[in-house]
Amino acid sequence: MKTRLSPPEPQRFMRFWQIPAQFDGMRADLYLTYHLKKISRTKAQKFIQDGTFTKGGLPLAPAKRLFTNDNVELRVDAPDTHFDIAHVKVETVHEDQDILVVNKPPRLAIHPSGRYYHQTLTYWLKQKYGDNYPRPCHRIDRDTSGLVVCAKNKKAQTAIKTAFQQRGVRKLYIAIAQGHLKEQQIINEPLALQGSRGLVRIRMIVDPSGLPCETLVSPLFFDEKNNRTIVACEPKTGRQHQIRAHLAHIGHPIVGDKIYQMGDEYFNDMILGKTVKKPEHFRHALHAFMIEFPLGNESMKLLAPLPSDMQSLIPTELITHESLLLAVKNALTYSI
Protein backbone atom coordinates (compact mmCIF):
# COMPACT_ATOMS: atom_id res chain seq x y z
CA MET A 1 0.00 0.00 0.00
CA LYS A 2 1.46 3.32 -1.07
CA THR A 3 1.61 6.18 1.37
CA ARG A 4 -0.24 9.18 0.06
CA LEU A 5 1.78 12.32 0.66
CA SER A 6 -0.09 15.53 1.32
CA PRO A 7 0.85 18.45 -0.91
CA PRO A 8 3.34 20.92 0.56
CA GLU A 9 1.98 23.99 2.29
CA PRO A 10 1.88 26.92 -0.12
CA GLN A 11 4.54 29.52 0.52
CA ARG A 12 3.16 32.59 2.27
CA PHE A 13 4.60 36.06 2.13
CA MET A 14 3.84 39.44 3.62
CA ARG A 15 4.18 42.56 1.52
CA PHE A 16 4.38 46.03 3.07
CA TRP A 17 3.80 49.34 1.30
CA GLN A 18 2.26 52.80 1.66
CA ILE A 19 -0.92 54.02 0.00
CA PRO A 20 -0.06 56.25 -3.00
CA ALA A 21 -1.55 59.74 -3.19
CA GLN A 22 -3.91 58.92 -6.06
CA PHE A 23 -5.86 56.52 -3.80
CA ASP A 24 -6.28 58.98 -0.92
CA GLY A 25 -9.68 58.49 0.78
CA MET A 26 -10.61 55.30 -1.11
CA ARG A 27 -12.45 52.42 0.58
CA ALA A 28 -10.16 49.52 1.53
CA ASP A 29 -12.08 46.92 -0.52
CA LEU A 30 -12.14 49.11 -3.63
CA TYR A 31 -8.45 49.94 -3.30
CA LEU A 32 -7.55 46.26 -3.07
CA THR A 33 -9.39 45.48 -6.31
CA TYR A 34 -7.30 48.17 -8.03
CA HIS A 35 -4.07 46.96 -6.46
CA LEU A 36 -4.48 43.26 -7.25
CA LYS A 37 -6.17 43.93 -10.60
CA LYS A 38 -7.63 40.45 -11.14
CA ILE A 39 -9.85 40.05 -8.08
CA SER A 40 -13.49 41.02 -7.60
CA ARG A 41 -14.69 43.38 -4.92
CA THR A 42 -16.32 40.42 -3.12
CA LYS A 43 -12.94 38.63 -3.03
CA ALA A 44 -11.28 41.82 -1.77
CA GLN A 45 -13.83 42.06 1.04
CA LYS A 46 -13.10 38.45 2.02
CA PHE A 47 -9.34 39.18 2.11
CA ILE A 48 -10.02 42.08 4.47
CA GLN A 49 -12.43 40.15 6.70
CA ASP A 50 -9.98 37.22 6.92
CA GLY A 51 -7.16 39.52 8.00
CA THR A 52 -5.20 38.94 4.80
CA PHE A 53 -5.10 42.70 4.12
CA THR A 54 -4.41 44.90 7.14
CA LYS A 55 -3.42 48.46 8.02
CA GLY A 56 -0.52 48.99 10.40
CA GLY A 57 -0.83 45.36 11.46
CA LEU A 58 -4.42 45.88 12.63
CA PRO A 59 -7.66 44.51 11.12
CA LEU A 60 -9.62 46.63 8.66
CA ALA A 61 -13.28 46.88 7.69
CA PRO A 62 -14.03 46.75 3.95
CA ALA A 63 -15.57 50.24 4.11
CA LYS A 64 -12.61 51.74 6.01
CA ARG A 65 -11.04 54.67 4.18
CA LEU A 66 -7.35 54.58 3.36
CA PHE A 67 -5.25 57.71 3.11
CA THR A 68 -1.96 58.76 1.53
CA ASN A 69 1.07 57.10 3.20
CA ASP A 70 -1.03 54.72 5.33
CA ASN A 71 1.06 51.61 6.00
CA VAL A 72 -0.70 48.47 4.77
CA GLU A 73 0.17 44.78 4.58
CA LEU A 74 -0.96 41.89 2.42
CA ARG A 75 -0.45 38.24 3.37
CA VAL A 76 -1.09 35.80 0.54
CA ASP A 77 0.06 32.50 -0.91
CA ALA A 78 2.84 32.79 -3.44
CA PRO A 79 0.89 32.93 -6.72
CA ASP A 80 3.71 31.72 -8.96
CA THR A 81 6.31 28.98 -8.90
CA HIS A 82 9.94 29.13 -7.82
CA PHE A 83 12.48 29.83 -10.54
CA ASP A 84 16.23 29.45 -10.87
CA ILE A 85 17.80 32.92 -10.93
CA ALA A 86 20.46 31.60 -13.31
CA HIS A 87 17.76 31.51 -15.99
CA VAL A 88 16.78 35.17 -15.50
CA LYS A 89 19.10 37.63 -17.20
CA VAL A 90 19.45 40.67 -14.94
CA GLU A 91 22.53 42.64 -15.98
CA THR A 92 24.58 44.64 -13.48
CA VAL A 93 25.19 48.12 -14.90
CA HIS A 94 26.94 49.58 -11.83
CA GLU A 95 27.78 48.31 -8.36
CA ASP A 96 29.65 49.84 -5.42
CA GLN A 97 29.40 49.72 -1.62
CA ASP A 98 26.22 51.81 -1.58
CA ILE A 99 24.18 51.01 -4.68
CA LEU A 100 23.45 48.43 -7.33
CA VAL A 101 21.99 49.50 -10.67
CA VAL A 102 20.58 46.74 -12.86
CA ASN A 103 19.15 46.43 -16.34
CA LYS A 104 15.84 44.67 -15.68
CA PRO A 105 14.47 42.40 -18.40
CA PRO A 106 10.79 42.53 -19.38
CA ARG A 107 8.30 40.19 -17.70
CA LEU A 108 9.92 40.63 -14.30
CA ALA A 109 7.98 42.63 -11.71
CA ILE A 110 9.83 44.78 -9.18
CA HIS A 111 8.04 43.78 -5.96
CA PRO A 112 5.86 40.84 -4.86
CA SER A 113 2.13 41.29 -5.36
CA GLY A 114 -1.03 39.25 -5.56
CA ARG A 115 0.12 38.04 -9.00
CA TYR A 116 3.89 37.56 -8.57
CA TYR A 117 6.20 36.53 -5.76
CA HIS A 118 9.06 34.61 -7.32
CA GLN A 119 8.97 36.32 -10.71
CA THR A 120 10.19 39.59 -9.22
CA LEU A 121 13.39 41.57 -9.08
CA THR A 122 13.11 41.57 -5.28
CA TYR A 123 13.18 37.77 -5.22
CA TRP A 124 16.12 37.69 -7.66
CA LEU A 125 18.06 40.11 -5.43
CA LYS A 126 17.23 38.11 -2.30
CA GLN A 127 18.44 34.88 -3.91
CA LYS A 128 21.65 36.48 -5.16
CA TYR A 129 22.59 38.58 -2.12
CA GLY A 130 20.85 36.90 0.83
CA ASP A 131 18.79 38.57 3.55
CA ASN A 132 20.74 41.84 3.34
CA TYR A 133 19.89 42.28 -0.32
CA PRO A 134 19.85 45.64 -2.16
CA ARG A 135 16.41 47.27 -2.07
CA PRO A 136 14.86 48.72 -5.25
CA CYS A 137 14.35 52.48 -4.76
CA HIS A 138 11.72 53.02 -7.46
CA ARG A 139 9.48 51.09 -9.83
CA ILE A 140 9.04 50.44 -13.49
CA ASP A 141 6.24 48.33 -14.96
CA ARG A 142 6.69 44.56 -15.19
CA ASP A 143 6.85 44.66 -18.99
CA THR A 144 9.06 47.77 -19.12
CA SER A 145 12.74 46.91 -19.37
CA GLY A 146 15.72 48.96 -18.25
CA LEU A 147 17.45 50.67 -15.38
CA VAL A 148 16.47 50.18 -11.74
CA VAL A 149 18.47 51.68 -8.86
CA CYS A 150 18.79 49.56 -5.70
CA ALA A 151 20.26 50.67 -2.37
CA LYS A 152 22.61 48.51 -0.30
CA ASN A 153 22.15 50.45 2.92
CA LYS A 154 19.64 52.73 4.65
CA LYS A 155 21.62 55.92 4.03
CA ALA A 156 21.79 55.35 0.28
CA GLN A 157 18.13 54.32 0.17
CA THR A 158 17.06 57.51 1.94
CA ALA A 159 19.22 59.68 -0.32
CA ILE A 160 17.94 58.15 -3.55
CA LYS A 161 14.28 58.13 -2.51
CA THR A 162 14.60 61.77 -1.38
CA ALA A 163 16.08 62.67 -4.76
CA PHE A 164 13.09 61.05 -6.48
CA GLN A 165 10.62 62.88 -4.23
CA GLN A 166 12.33 66.22 -4.86
CA ARG A 167 12.53 65.60 -8.62
CA GLY A 168 16.29 65.45 -8.49
CA VAL A 169 16.40 62.34 -10.69
CA ARG A 170 16.44 62.64 -14.47
CA LYS A 171 15.10 59.63 -16.37
CA LEU A 172 14.93 58.99 -20.08
CA TYR A 173 12.93 56.21 -21.73
CA ILE A 174 12.97 54.99 -25.31
CA ALA A 175 9.60 53.95 -26.74
CA ILE A 176 8.56 52.57 -30.10
CA ALA A 177 5.28 54.31 -30.84
CA GLN A 178 2.63 53.70 -33.45
CA GLY A 179 2.41 56.25 -36.27
CA HIS A 180 4.53 59.24 -37.26
CA LEU A 181 5.23 61.58 -34.35
CA LYS A 182 6.68 64.60 -36.14
CA GLU A 183 7.58 67.17 -33.50
CA GLN A 184 8.95 67.41 -30.00
CA GLN A 185 6.25 68.38 -27.52
CA ILE A 186 5.49 68.61 -23.83
CA ILE A 187 2.40 66.64 -22.84
CA ASN A 188 1.04 68.39 -19.77
CA GLU A 189 -2.16 66.52 -18.97
CA PRO A 190 -3.35 65.39 -15.51
CA LEU A 191 -3.96 61.67 -15.15
CA ALA A 192 -6.33 59.66 -12.96
CA LEU A 193 -7.40 56.05 -12.71
CA GLN A 194 -10.25 55.19 -15.04
CA GLY A 195 -11.86 53.06 -12.33
CA SER A 196 -15.53 52.32 -12.89
CA ARG A 197 -15.65 54.69 -15.88
CA GLY A 198 -14.47 51.89 -18.18
CA LEU A 199 -13.81 48.16 -18.43
CA VAL A 200 -10.17 48.41 -17.29
CA ARG A 201 -9.97 49.99 -13.86
CA ILE A 202 -6.17 50.29 -13.83
CA ARG A 203 -6.08 52.34 -17.04
CA MET A 204 -4.92 55.92 -16.55
CA ILE A 205 -6.94 58.56 -18.38
CA VAL A 206 -6.66 62.31 -18.85
CA ASP A 207 -8.85 63.88 -16.16
CA PRO A 208 -8.89 67.59 -15.16
CA SER A 209 -9.25 66.51 -11.53
CA GLY A 210 -6.34 64.05 -11.78
CA LEU A 211 -2.76 64.48 -10.57
CA PRO A 212 -0.46 66.88 -12.48
CA CYS A 213 1.51 64.97 -15.08
CA GLU A 214 4.14 66.15 -17.58
CA THR A 215 6.16 64.26 -20.20
CA LEU A 216 8.58 65.62 -22.80
CA VAL A 217 8.46 63.46 -25.94
CA SER A 218 10.98 63.81 -28.77
CA PRO A 219 10.86 61.86 -32.05
CA LEU A 220 14.26 60.40 -32.90
CA PHE A 221 13.70 58.20 -35.97
CA PHE A 222 10.74 57.37 -38.17
CA ASP A 223 10.37 53.85 -39.54
CA GLU A 224 8.30 54.56 -42.65
CA LYS A 225 8.00 50.90 -43.63
CA ASN A 226 6.31 49.91 -40.37
CA ASN A 227 4.78 53.32 -39.57
CA ARG A 228 6.52 53.55 -36.21
CA THR A 229 8.45 56.32 -34.44
CA ILE A 230 11.33 55.78 -32.03
CA VAL A 231 10.65 58.30 -29.29
CA ALA A 232 12.70 59.66 -26.39
CA CYS A 233 10.42 60.23 -23.39
CA GLU A 234 11.46 62.24 -20.36
CA PRO A 235 8.86 62.13 -17.57
CA LYS A 236 8.94 65.23 -15.37
CA THR A 237 6.56 63.55 -12.92
CA GLY A 238 6.30 59.91 -11.90
CA ARG A 239 2.72 58.72 -12.29
CA GLN A 240 1.46 55.21 -12.99
CA HIS A 241 1.60 54.36 -16.72
CA GLN A 242 2.51 58.00 -17.39
CA ILE A 243 4.43 57.62 -20.66
CA ARG A 244 2.08 54.95 -21.98
CA ALA A 245 -1.04 56.99 -21.22
CA HIS A 246 0.38 60.27 -22.53
CA LEU A 247 1.57 58.81 -25.85
CA ALA A 248 -1.79 57.13 -26.35
CA HIS A 249 -3.55 60.41 -25.57
CA ILE A 250 -1.79 62.19 -28.46
CA GLY A 251 -2.59 59.32 -30.84
CA HIS A 252 0.72 57.43 -30.70
CA PRO A 253 0.33 54.43 -28.35
CA ILE A 254 3.35 52.26 -27.69
CA VAL A 255 3.64 49.19 -29.90
CA GLY A 256 2.51 46.05 -28.04
CA ASP A 257 0.69 47.93 -25.26
CA LYS A 258 -2.19 45.66 -24.33
CA ILE A 259 -4.12 48.44 -22.61
CA TYR A 260 -3.35 51.66 -24.44
CA GLN A 261 -2.81 50.33 -27.98
CA MET A 262 -5.17 47.35 -27.99
CA GLY A 263 -7.94 48.95 -25.92
CA ASP A 264 -10.20 48.18 -22.97
CA GLU A 265 -12.21 45.38 -24.56
CA TYR A 266 -9.08 43.53 -25.67
CA PHE A 267 -7.42 43.79 -22.25
CA ASN A 268 -10.60 42.83 -20.42
CA ASP A 269 -11.08 39.76 -22.64
CA MET A 270 -7.44 38.78 -22.11
CA ILE A 271 -7.80 39.02 -18.33
CA LEU A 272 -10.95 36.88 -18.49
CA GLY A 273 -9.05 34.20 -20.45
CA LYS A 274 -10.93 34.70 -23.71
CA THR A 275 -9.25 34.09 -27.06
CA VAL A 276 -7.74 37.33 -28.33
CA LYS A 277 -5.63 38.16 -31.37
CA LYS A 278 -1.88 38.29 -30.99
CA PRO A 279 -0.57 41.84 -30.39
CA GLU A 280 2.13 43.41 -32.56
CA HIS A 281 4.71 42.65 -29.87
CA PHE A 282 4.63 40.46 -26.76
CA ARG A 283 5.06 43.47 -24.46
CA HIS A 284 4.86 47.24 -24.67
CA ALA A 285 8.05 48.48 -26.34
CA LEU A 286 9.28 50.79 -23.56
CA HIS A 287 12.79 50.83 -22.10
CA ALA A 288 14.30 52.82 -19.22
CA PHE A 289 17.35 53.93 -21.20
CA MET A 290 19.12 56.46 -18.98
CA ILE A 291 19.05 57.62 -15.38
CA GLU A 292 20.94 60.46 -13.68
CA PHE A 293 20.80 61.00 -9.93
CA PRO A 294 22.85 62.56 -7.10
CA LEU A 295 24.67 60.34 -4.63
CA GLY A 296 26.75 62.09 -2.01
CA ASN A 297 28.84 64.76 -3.72
CA GLU A 298 28.69 63.00 -7.08
CA SER A 299 26.20 62.69 -9.90
CA MET A 300 25.65 59.24 -11.38
CA LYS A 301 24.64 58.91 -15.04
CA LEU A 302 24.05 55.42 -16.41
CA LEU A 303 22.80 53.89 -19.66
CA ALA A 304 21.24 50.59 -20.68
CA PRO A 305 21.20 49.78 -24.43
CA LEU A 306 17.95 48.78 -26.08
CA PRO A 307 17.12 45.11 -25.46
CA SER A 308 17.10 42.67 -28.37
CA ASP A 309 13.30 42.37 -28.50
CA MET A 310 12.97 46.12 -29.16
CA GLN A 311 15.85 46.10 -31.63
CA SER A 312 13.97 43.44 -33.59
CA LEU A 313 11.16 45.94 -34.16
CA ILE A 314 13.51 48.41 -35.85
CA PRO A 315 15.19 47.94 -39.26
CA THR A 316 18.89 47.37 -38.57
CA GLU A 317 19.91 50.04 -41.07
CA LEU A 318 17.81 52.68 -39.29
CA ILE A 319 19.35 52.78 -35.85
CA THR A 320 22.42 51.66 -33.90
CA HIS A 321 23.32 52.28 -30.27
CA GLU A 322 25.72 55.02 -31.37
CA SER A 323 23.18 56.75 -33.61
CA LEU A 324 20.59 56.52 -30.82
CA LEU A 325 22.96 58.24 -28.40
CA LEU A 326 23.63 60.99 -30.92
CA ALA A 327 19.92 61.48 -31.62
CA VAL A 328 19.14 61.72 -27.91
CA LYS A 329 21.96 64.22 -27.40
CA ASN A 330 20.73 66.40 -30.27
CA ALA A 331 17.08 66.22 -29.25
CA LEU A 332 17.48 66.79 -25.52
CA THR A 333 20.86 68.53 -25.19
CA TYR A 334 22.21 65.61 -23.18
CA SER A 335 25.92 65.20 -22.59
CA ILE A 336 26.23 61.44 -22.88
Quote the pLDDT of residue 330. Answer: 87
Most confident of 22-36, 73-87, 251-265: 251-265
In a domain, 60, yes or no: yes
pLDDT of 9 strictly over 50: no
pLDDT tens column, 139-177: 999 999 999 999 999 999 999 999 999 999 999 999 999
pLDDT bucket at 8, cuts 50 / 70 / 90: very low
What mean pLDDT value characterizes the chain? 89
Mean pLDDT over 295-309 rounds to 92
Mean pLDDT over 123-142 rounds to 94
Q: Tell which residue, 320, 232, 312, 288, has the closest CA to residue 105.
A: 288
pLDDT bucket at 317, cuts 50 / 70 / 90: confident
Sign of CA dihedral 300, 175, 242, 38: negative
Mean pLDDT over 32-57 rounds to 86
| CATH at 36 | 3.10.290.10
Strand ranges for 189-336 from DSSP E: 191-193, 204-206, 214-223, 228-235, 286-295, 298-303
DSSP labels, 91-107: EEEEE-SSEEEEEEPSS
Last residue of one domain, picked from the residues 166, 186, 216: 166
Quote the pLDDT of residue 77. Answer: 65
As annotated, the active-site residues are: 141
pLDDT tens column, 182-197: 999 999 999 999 988 9
What is the model's pTM? 0.80
Q: Tell which residue, 101, 148, 313, has the closest CA to residue 223.
A: 313
Last residue of one domain, picked from the residues 166, 195, 224: 166
pLDDT tens column, 95-117: 999 999 999 999 999 987 666 77
pLDDT of 3 strictly over 50: no
Q: Tell which residue, 230, 224, 211, has the closest CA to residue 286.
A: 230
Quote the pLDDT of residue 335. Answer: 62
Pair 290, 192 in one domain: yes
| CATH at 303 | 3.30.2350.10
Domain that holds residue 18: 12-77
In a domain, 49, yes or no: yes
In a domain, 64, yes or no: yes
Pair 255, 305 in one domain: yes
Pair 312, 224 in one domain: yes
In a domain, 43, yes or no: yes
Quote the pLDDT of residue 12. Answer: 59
Quote the pLDDT of residue 15. Answer: 76
Mean pLDDT over 311-332 rounds to 87
